[in-house]
Amino acid sequence: MGPFEAKLFAHGKGFSAVELGVLFSIPSIAQLIINVVGGAYVDRVGGKKIMLASSVLMAVGAATMPFMDSFAAVFGAQLVLVLSRAT
């Protein structure tokens, strides 16, 4: 689910403008931090393992997103998706 679809999904759930802003700004900051640290981590662990973990996280986040009803649950699923994209 891309950012546009996620925004439509969250808007359809009835989230306020503030919740939508938090839903997309905080994970982006987390992605920036993960990207900075990620290069060194890939050198230590190995690219193949990181790509496998990234694929699993993407599948888990995408599979759970349609079942999330509360803001906290959607925020958690969004964090998982951001983590998978950052790796």
Indicate the pTM of the whole model.
0.69
49, two tokens: 């393992």
Mean pLDDT of 53-73: 86
User: Which of 8 and 45 is assigned the larger pLDDT?
Assistant: 45
In 3-state terms the chain splits into helix, strand, coil percentages (rounded to 5) of 85, 0, 15
Q: Which helix (H) or strand (E) holds 7?
A: helix 3-12
CB atoms within 10 A of CB 27: 22
What Å distances lie between residue 7 and 3, 11, 13, 25, 83, CA to CA? 6, 6, 10, 12, 18
Per-residue pLDDT tens digits for 3-41: 666 667 776 778 887 887 887 788 778 888 888 887 777
Do residues 56 and 4 make contact, with C-beta atoms less than 8 angstroms apart? no
Share of the chain above pLDDT 90, in %: 2
